[in-house]
Amino acid sequence: MPSFFKKFLTRRKAKQSSAEAAPAPPAAPVSDNSPPAVESEKRRSAGGPAEQQQVLAAATPNTLTIALQNRTQSSNVFAYITGLAINNNYAPVFIQSDGRTVYFPRSPSQTGSPLEADVAIPLGAPGNTVNAVIPKLAGGRIWFSIDNRLTFLLNPGPARVEPSVTNFSDPNINVNWGFCEFTYNDQQLFANITYVDFIGPVPIGLSVTSSSGYTQTVSGMGPNGFDTVVAELRAQSARDRRPWDQLIYSANGRPLRALSPNNLLVGNPNAWTDYWDAYVSQVWSKFSSQNITINTQAAPGNLTGHVTNGLLSLGPAGTFSAPSAKDIFSNSTGPFQTGDNLARNAVIPRLAAAFNRGILLDGNQFPNGSSPDRYYKGPTSNHYSRIVHQVLRDGRGYGFPYDDVVPDGGSDVAGTVSEGSPALFTVAVGGG
């Protein structure tokens, strides 16, 4: 499936729109910045015999069953399902704690208002599976928290206030949580695991089984993967004296998550300053005397150009200024900001991916001139993404927004699955 279509189906952030997508639904009414901290809901233990299958509702042609599996060692695990109701003008929805009742929140009069329904789905004892049912949803997420509930709030609109890892007044800042993403529409189910924002100690794996019995699987992180992430970030910081170790956020004396390099910039805008400068200069120098070809893998075809007067010129895609660290880590600012030019929108994901993977000095054609075994080999690259892929059992999961860019005929590295006739969507917390 082309990268630009995959992005349209599941990435809800503006920075992750890509080339030649169909007209997108209305922007998700989501706020990533929580209001001042409020008291989290009390912990609640959800008991239940191991291996018990709790069927909450039967699937219908307009719904999809999601098997939520607790593979952790805790009996206090909760799932949350959010999205935009495709058949109800893309209104924001939650699935309630029974795993099937759809909750359409009303617009509150004040910011930071509580929900009027219980949306925490208890998963029971280790080994238990709870079957939930969803309608057609765009921009969906399945969230998991261990040993504490998550707090979702509402702003006027209504707009969801979701858990944040960069707002230190957020009530969920010290909660152990993670999520995966999906879109379920008339055409298919598309789902992925993602570490674009952060990686934590909650392994999440997923699989999709078709009506014919064919199963696709994304394995997720191994049981000790997060410990490796922490150790590798510290080791990389020791090697290059850059703030990779500052990505690690600790609570109660223990590492709780590692932020992406882009999210470190939220609290420390100068964190990466000149990190990419020397590499960008080398790339610009190279393509001042040589041509670069971007395989857009879309209608614009292969676009060839070079650097003149400090700008990379790629024909109908226009010119690109030398990107900054923020531009490269965000994939969405400066020369990587998308717009109305479809050729440019097709170039942006592929050029941004080549920078993050540190492969622009290795060849002249991208992405077709490279392969995953050549990613992240140089001293300057997105080492957070490198480490994320290192700890994923099948090496698959988004490490940055355009990690779904692959050479023609190449294998997925972003941890995506898609199925036009899904019968069962399984998501396991604690390991795939």
Give the residue-averaged pLDDT of 218-235: 95
Q: What is the mean pLDDT of the chain?
A: 88
Contact call for residues 288 and 366 (beta carbons, < 8 A): no
pLDDT at 31 over 90: no
Rounded-to-integer distance, Cα 27 and Cα 17, Å: 11
At 104, is the pLDDT very low, low, confident or very high (cuts 50, 70, 90)?
very high
Give the residue-averaged pLDDT of 317-342: 98
| Residue 334 identity | G
Look at 323 and 38; give whichever has higher pLDDT. 323
Q: Is residue 404 part of a domain?
A: no
Rounded-to-integer distance, Cα 79 and Cα 123, Å: 7
Is 427 exposed, middle or buried, given 0-12, 13-18 or 19+ CB atoms closer than 10 A?
Answer: buried
Q: Is residue 254 part of a domain?
A: no
Instruction: CATH number of the domain at 342, please.
Output: 3.30.920.50
- 3-state helix/strand/coil string of the chain: CCHHHHHHHHCCCHHHCCCCCCCCCCCCCEECCCCCCCCCCCCCCCCCCCCCEEECCCCCCCCEEEEEEECCCCCCEEEEEEEEEHHHCCEEEEECCCCCCEECCCCCCCCCEECCCCCCEECCCCCCEEEEEECCEEEEEEEEEECCCCCCEEECCCEEECCCCCCCCCCCCCCEEEEEEEEECCCCEEEEEECCCEECCCCEEEEEEECCCCEEEECCECCCHHHHHHHHHHHHHHHHCCHHHHHEEEECCEEEEEECHHHHHHHCCCCCCCCCHHHHHHHHHHHHHCCEEEECCCCCCEEEEEEECCEEECHHHCEECCCCHHHHHHCCCHHHCCCCCHHHHHHHHHHHHHHHHCCCCCCCEECCCCCHHHCCCCCCCCHHHHHHHHHECCCCCECCCCCCCCCCCCCCCCCEEEECCEEEEEEEECCC
If asked whether residues 300 and 199 sit together in one domain, one would say no
In the chain, pLDDT over 70 holds for what percent of residues? 85
Token pair belonging to 317: 């895609």
Q: Is residue 65 part of a domain?
A: yes
Compute the radius of gyration of the chain from its Cα atoms.
Answer: 21
At 107, is the pLDDT very low, low, confident or very high (cuts 50, 70, 90)?
very high
pLDDT at 432 over 80: no
If asked whether residues 211 and 70 sit together in one domain, one would say yes
Token pair belonging to 28: 């998700």
pLDDT at 277 over 50: yes
Instruction: CATH number of the domain at 213, please.
Output: 2.60.110.10
If asked whether residues 421 and 357 sit together in one domain, one would say no
If asked whether residues 78 and 200 sit together in one domain, one would say yes
Beta bridge partners of 208: 216, 425
| Residue 335 identity | P
pLDDT at 263 over 70: yes
If asked whether residues 13 and 145 sit together in one domain, one would say yes
Token pair belonging to 342: 């479809």
Rounded-to-integer distance, Cα 47 and Cα 9, Å: 36
Report pLDDT digits (tens) over 150-180.
999 999 999 999 999 999 999 999 999 999 9
| Residue 53 identity | Q
Give the residue-averaged pLDDT of 404-428: 95
Cis link prior to 35 (omega < 30° from 0)? no
| Residue 366 identity | F
At 223, is the pLDDT very low, low, confident or very high (cuts 50, 70, 90)?
confident
Report pLDDT digits (tens) over 303-328.
999 999 999 999 999 999 999 999 99
Contact call for residues 398 and 194 (beta carbons, < 8 A): yes
If asked whether residues 203 and 84 sit together in one domain, one would say yes
Phi, psi (degrees; rounded to nearest 5) at 390:
-60, -35
Q: Is residue 298 part of a domain?
A: yes
Give the residue-averaged pLDDT of 69-87: 97
Q: Is residue 172 part of a domain?
A: yes
Q: Is residue 139 part of a domain?
A: yes
Q: Is residue 397 part of a domain?
A: no
How many domains is the chain built from? Answer: 2
If asked whether residues 221 and 295 sit together in one domain, one would say no
At 146, is the pLDDT very low, low, confident or very high (cuts 50, 70, 90)?
very high
pLDDT at 101 over 60: yes
Give me the domain span that covers residue 374.
277-379
If asked whether residues 99 and 216 sit together in one domain, one would say yes
pLDDT at 86 over 90: yes
If asked whether residues 329 and 203 sit together in one domain, one would say no
The whole-number pLDDT of residue 23 equals 34
If asked whether residues 44 and 127 sit together in one domain, one would say yes
Q: Is residue 241 part of a domain?
A: no
| Nearest partner of 316 among 341, 292, 279, 285, judged by Cα | 341
The whole-number pLDDT of residue 431 equals 67
The whole-number pLDDT of residue 59 equals 38
Look at 22 and 171; give whichever has higher pLDDT. 171
Rounded-to-integer distance, Cα 428 and Cα 127, Å: 10
Instruction: Provide the whole-model pTM.
Output: 0.86
The whole-number pLDDT of residue 16 equals 34
If asked whether residues 305 and 201 sit together in one domain, one would say no
pLDDT at 5 over 80: no
| Nearest partner of 203 among 80, 78, 94, 70, judged by Cα | 70
| Nearest partner of 167 among 203, 195, 197, 146, judged by Cα | 197
If asked whether residues 418 and 281 sit together in one domain, one would say no
Report pLDDT digits (tens) over 355-382.
999 999 999 999 999 999 999 999 999 9
